[in-house]
Protein backbone atom coordinates (compact mmCIF):
# COMPACT_ATOMS: atom_id res chain seq x y z
CA UNK A 1 0.00 0.00 0.00
CA UNK A 2 1.42 3.43 -0.89
CA UNK A 3 2.28 5.81 1.96
CA UNK A 4 0.09 8.54 0.49
CA UNK A 5 -2.97 9.16 -1.63
CA UNK A 6 -3.44 12.55 -3.26
CA UNK A 7 -6.76 13.81 -4.66
CA UNK A 8 -7.40 16.04 -7.67
CA UNK A 9 -6.16 19.64 -7.96
CA UNK A 10 -3.86 19.30 -4.96
CA UNK A 11 -0.95 21.76 -4.71
CA UNK A 12 2.12 20.74 -2.71
CA UNK A 13 4.73 23.50 -2.46
CA UNK A 14 8.52 23.12 -2.44
CA UNK A 15 10.09 21.34 0.49
CA UNK A 16 6.85 19.87 1.84
CA UNK A 17 6.94 16.25 3.03
CA UNK A 18 3.76 14.22 2.76
CA UNK A 19 3.54 10.64 4.02
CA UNK A 20 6.78 10.25 5.95
CA UNK A 21 6.90 8.26 9.15
CA UNK A 22 5.91 10.16 12.26
CA UNK A 23 7.53 10.35 15.68
CA UNK A 24 6.64 7.00 17.23
CA UNK A 25 9.08 5.23 19.51
CA UNK A 26 8.90 2.84 22.41
CA UNK A 27 11.51 2.61 25.17
CA UNK A 28 13.25 -0.68 25.73
CA UNK A 29 15.62 -1.52 28.51
CA UNK A 30 16.82 -4.18 30.86
CA UNK A 31 14.95 -2.75 33.84
CA UNK A 32 18.10 -1.33 35.44
CA UNK A 33 18.11 1.82 33.37
CA UNK A 34 15.11 4.02 32.78
CA UNK A 35 15.58 3.92 29.00
CA UNK A 36 18.48 2.17 27.36
CA UNK A 37 17.18 2.33 23.81
CA UNK A 38 14.33 3.92 21.85
CA UNK A 39 12.95 1.61 19.20
CA UNK A 40 11.07 3.04 16.22
CA UNK A 41 7.60 1.60 15.74
CA UNK A 42 6.47 1.13 12.14
CA UNK A 43 3.81 3.25 10.46
CA UNK A 44 1.43 1.26 8.28
CA UNK A 45 -1.23 3.93 7.68
CA UNK A 46 -1.30 6.40 4.83
CA UNK A 47 -1.49 10.16 4.36
CA UNK A 48 -4.65 11.01 2.43
CA UNK A 49 -5.09 14.47 0.87
CA UNK A 50 -8.59 15.25 -0.43
CA UNK A 51 -9.40 17.22 -3.56
CA UNK A 52 -8.37 20.91 -3.73
CA UNK A 53 -5.98 20.72 -0.77
CA UNK A 54 -2.98 23.04 -0.70
CA UNK A 55 0.13 22.25 1.36
CA UNK A 56 2.59 25.09 1.98
CA UNK A 57 6.36 25.04 1.64
CA UNK A 58 8.31 23.03 4.22
CA UNK A 59 5.17 21.61 5.79
CA UNK A 60 5.28 18.04 7.08
CA UNK A 61 2.27 15.72 7.13
CA UNK A 62 3.10 12.33 8.66
CA UNK A 63 1.43 9.12 7.56
CA UNK A 64 -0.77 7.32 10.05
CA UNK A 65 0.75 4.84 12.45
CA UNK A 66 -2.15 2.39 12.21
CA UNK A 67 -5.01 4.28 10.52
CA UNK A 68 -4.66 7.11 8.04
CA UNK A 69 -3.74 10.76 8.49
CA UNK A 70 -6.43 12.63 6.53
CA UNK A 71 -6.66 16.19 5.19
CA UNK A 72 -10.19 16.91 3.98
CA UNK A 73 -11.20 18.50 0.68
CA UNK A 74 -10.56 22.22 0.21
CA UNK A 75 -8.31 22.57 3.26
CA UNK A 76 -5.46 25.06 2.93
CA UNK A 77 -2.27 24.57 4.94
CA UNK A 78 0.34 27.34 5.09
CA UNK A 79 4.13 27.01 5.27
CA UNK A 80 6.07 25.33 8.10
CA UNK A 81 3.16 23.37 9.58
CA UNK A 82 3.59 20.01 11.37
CA UNK A 83 0.73 17.51 11.14
CA UNK A 84 1.52 14.38 13.16
CA UNK A 85 0.42 10.80 12.54
CA UNK A 86 -3.28 9.83 12.72
CA UNK A 87 -4.50 13.46 12.61
CA UNK A 88 -7.84 13.94 10.87
CA UNK A 89 -8.50 17.39 9.38
CA UNK A 90 -11.95 18.16 8.02
CA UNK A 91 -13.26 20.02 4.99
CA UNK A 92 -12.26 23.61 4.14
CA UNK A 93 -10.07 24.27 7.15
CA UNK A 94 -7.44 27.01 7.17
CA UNK A 95 -4.18 26.25 8.97
CA UNK A 96 -1.71 29.13 9.09
CA UNK A 97 2.09 29.15 9.33
CA UNK A 98 4.00 27.34 12.08
CA UNK A 99 1.03 25.48 13.53
CA UNK A 100 1.86 22.19 15.25
CA UNK A 101 -0.78 19.46 15.52
CA UNK A 102 0.13 16.48 17.71
CA UNK A 103 -0.86 12.90 16.96
CA UNK A 104 -4.41 11.57 16.78
CA UNK A 105 -6.01 15.02 17.00
CA UNK A 106 -9.30 15.57 15.17
CA UNK A 107 -10.00 18.91 13.50
CA UNK A 108 -13.55 19.09 12.23
CA UNK A 109 -14.83 21.06 9.19
CA UNK A 110 -14.34 24.82 8.71
CA UNK A 111 -11.83 25.26 11.55
CA UNK A 112 -9.27 28.09 11.50
CA UNK A 113 -5.91 27.65 13.25
CA UNK A 114 -3.95 30.92 13.33
CA UNK A 115 -0.15 31.16 13.19
CA UNK A 116 1.95 29.30 15.75
CA UNK A 117 -1.03 27.64 17.42
CA UNK A 118 -0.10 24.37 19.09
CA UNK A 119 -2.51 21.48 19.61
CA UNK A 120 -1.86 18.61 22.02
CA UNK A 121 -2.55 15.02 21.04
CA UNK A 122 -5.84 13.11 21.20
CA UNK A 123 -8.20 16.09 21.29
CA UNK A 124 -10.97 17.45 19.06
CA UNK A 125 -11.37 20.96 17.67
CA UNK A 126 -15.05 20.98 16.74
CA UNK A 127 -16.71 22.39 13.62
CA UNK A 128 -16.22 26.10 12.94
CA UNK A 129 -13.94 26.72 15.92
CA UNK A 130 -11.08 29.21 15.74
CA UNK A 131 -7.76 29.12 17.58
CA UNK A 132 -5.98 32.49 17.79
CA UNK A 133 -2.28 32.97 17.04
CA UNK A 134 -0.02 31.19 19.54
CA UNK A 135 -3.00 29.53 21.22
CA UNK A 136 -1.97 26.45 23.19
CA UNK A 137 -4.79 23.91 22.97
CA UNK A 138 -4.66 21.16 25.61
CA UNK A 139 -8.33 20.10 25.57
CA UNK A 140 -11.30 19.89 23.23
CA UNK A 141 -12.54 23.14 21.65
CA UNK A 142 -16.35 23.47 21.33
CA UNK A 143 -18.04 24.06 17.98
CA UNK A 144 -17.96 27.71 16.90
CA UNK A 145 -15.75 28.80 19.81
CA UNK A 146 -12.85 31.22 19.50
CA UNK A 147 -10.01 30.42 21.90
CA UNK A 148 -6.63 31.99 22.64
CA UNK A 149 -3.81 32.00 25.16
CA UNK A 150 -2.24 29.14 27.08
CA UNK A 151 -3.98 27.09 28.04
CA UNK A 152 -6.39 28.03 25.28
CA UNK A 153 -9.70 29.28 26.64
CA UNK A 154 -12.47 31.63 25.54
CA UNK A 155 -10.92 34.55 23.69
CA UNK A 156 -13.38 36.90 25.41
CA UNK A 157 -12.13 35.64 28.81
CA UNK A 158 -8.50 36.17 27.77
CA UNK A 159 -9.25 39.76 26.74
CA UNK A 160 -11.08 40.47 30.03
CA UNK A 161 -8.14 39.07 32.02
CA UNK A 162 -5.64 41.16 30.05
CA UNK A 163 -7.71 44.31 30.67
CA UNK A 164 -7.92 43.52 34.40
CA UNK A 165 -4.16 43.00 34.54
CA UNK A 166 -3.56 46.42 32.97
CA UNK A 167 -5.77 48.00 35.64
CA UNK A 168 -3.74 46.35 38.43
CA UNK A 169 -0.57 48.40 37.86
CA UNK A 170 -2.05 51.73 39.04
CA UNK A 171 -3.60 49.94 42.04
CA UNK A 172 -0.22 48.47 43.02
CA UNK A 173 1.40 51.93 42.79
CA UNK A 174 -1.36 53.37 44.96
CA UNK A 175 -0.89 50.64 47.59
CA UNK A 176 2.87 51.24 47.58
CA UNK A 177 2.30 54.97 48.21
CA UNK A 178 -0.10 54.18 51.08
CA UNK A 179 2.38 51.71 52.60
CA UNK A 180 5.21 54.24 52.25
CA UNK A 181 3.06 56.95 53.85
CA UNK A 182 2.07 54.65 56.74
CA UNK A 183 5.71 53.66 57.31
CA UNK A 184 6.71 57.31 57.70
CA UNK A 185 3.71 58.44 59.76
Catalytic (active-site) positions: 85
| Ranges of H-type helices in the chain | 155-183
Q: Can you list the positions of beta strands (E) in 17-64?
A: 17-20, 25-28, 37-40, 47-49, 54-55, 60-62
- B/e letters for 53-92, b = 16+ CB within 10 Å, e = fewer, are bbbbeebbbbbbbeebbbbbbbbbbbbbbbbbbbbbbbbe
Q: Which residues contact 26 (CB under 8 A, 6 or more apart)?
A: 38, 39, 41
Residue 159 DSSP label: H
Q: Are 83 and 69 in contact (CB under 8 A)?
A: yes
Amino acid sequence: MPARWVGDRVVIHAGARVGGEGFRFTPSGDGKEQVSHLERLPHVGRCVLGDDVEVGANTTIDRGSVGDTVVGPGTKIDNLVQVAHNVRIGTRCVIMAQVGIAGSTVIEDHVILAGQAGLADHLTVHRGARVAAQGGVIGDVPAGATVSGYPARSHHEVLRQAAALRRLTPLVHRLERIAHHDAHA
